[in-house]
Amino acid sequence: MEVETKIKLNEIAVKKNEFYPNRPTIIFLHDSLGCIDLWRDFPQKMSDITKCNVLVYDRQGYGKSCPFSYSKRDNYYMEQEADILNELLDYWNINNAILFGHSDGGSIALIAAGKFPKKITGIITEGAHVFVEDITIQGIKKAIAQYKTTDLKTKLEKYHGSKTEDLFFAWTDTWTTNEFKTWNIENFLPFIQCPSLIIQGKDDEYGTLNQVEKITKQVRGKSFALTIPNVKHTPHKETEEFILEKASTFIKELENKI
């Protein structure tokens, strides 16, 4: 499907360093409720260990970026985000990007690596989805209940302000529709040429290890599965030092390629 994705840079919040000339840039892609600030200092720690540059940004509707310019998502919203990422790569002339995507961000990373393989050196995903599972829908329904009955909304407002309601229901309303049950991005996987590290907690409340299997078996580039016991949907927060170690090792092993 052809999608138009032109975006003005003044509509999105970006955090970028360029401390390491002629080195790769790790681009962090947040989850469905995330933003720059919710990554905390994890990107900087990764930069310090790998001596890579870092780019982190809030997608439209999140964090310090502008509100959504549309009223309803369709099944192609993550592909549109991958196209926007490609525009950012062109704008900053980044041709050796390493994508680190969490949840929705992981799915966007997979799509981008499939659509624009020459620009992507490697990808790391956490809790990425390539199709819809019942466990995902059940997890989202639990999140809706928490949003209505706990202080989850207040916590999210700290990061997203007045956009909180829109972004929360953009996520939940889209994923729980009958239409979205057919969402599937496995068609992009055979076009991924770069190495990939596919991470998932074994107790992930939003997806099964079948997601990892489908990804690693279908990508063309060498793919490594990392499944972690007693970890849920956010490995980089639940076991930060372990993820820093494994992800930085993966990045360093890309040296011969870059």
Q: What is the DSSP letter of 162?
A: G
pTM of the model: 0.95
Closest alpha carbon to 235 in 53, 25, 42: 42
Tell me the per-residue pLDDT of 212-247, one tens digit each, with 9 for 90 and over.
Answer: 999 999 999 999 999 999 999 999 999 999 999 999
**17 domain-assigned:** yes
**3 domain-assigned:** no
Give the structural domain span for 104: 9-252
Tell me what the pLDDT averaged over the chain comes to: 94
**232 domain-assigned:** yes
Q: What confidence score (pLDDT) does residue 22 get? A: 87
Residue 70 pLDDT class (50, 70, 90 cuts): confident
Residue 2 pLDDT class (50, 70, 90 cuts): very low
Closest alpha carbon to 22 in 88, 84, 93: 93
Q: What confidence score (pLDDT) does residue 110 get? A: 98
Q: Is it the case that residue 7 has pLDDT exceeding 60? A: no
**257 domain-assigned:** no
Q: What values do phi and psi take at 123, rounded to 5?
A: -135, 145
**258 domain-assigned:** no
**90 domain-assigned:** yes
Work out the average pLDDT over 78-90.
Answer: 96
Q: What confidence score (pLDDT) does residue 256 get? A: 62
**92 domain-assigned:** yes
- d(Cα 204, Cα 201) in Å, to the nearest integer? 5
Work out the average pLDDT over 145-151.
Answer: 98
Q: What confidence score (pLDDT) does residue 78 get? A: 98
- d(Cα 204, Cα 202) in Å, to the nearest integer? 6
Percent of the chain with pLDDT over 90: 87
Work out the average pLDDT over 121-148.
Answer: 98
- A 10 A CB-CB count for 249 gives 12
Tell me the per-residue pLDDT of 13-54, one tens digit each, with 9 for 90 and over.
Answer: 898 887 888 899 999 999 999 999 999 999 999 999 999 999
Q: What confidence score (pLDDT) does residue 249 get? A: 97
Tell me the per-residue pLDDT of 154-209, one tens digit each, with 9 for 90 and over.
Answer: 999 999 999 999 999 999 999 999 999 999 999 999 999 999 999 999 999 999 99
Q: What confidence score (pLDDT) does residue 12 get? A: 86
Q: What share of the chain is helix, strand, coil (3-state, %, to 5)?
A: 45, 15, 35
Q: Can you give the CATH number for the domain in which 173 is found? A: 3.40.50.1820
What are the distances in angstroms from CA 36 to CA 42, 108, 126? 10, 16, 16
**212 domain-assigned:** yes
157-171 CB burial, b ≥16 within 10 A, e <16: eebbeebbeebbebb
Q: How many domains does the chain have?
A: 1
Residue 3 pLDDT class (50, 70, 90 cuts): very low
Q: What confidence score (pLDDT) does residue 5 get? A: 42
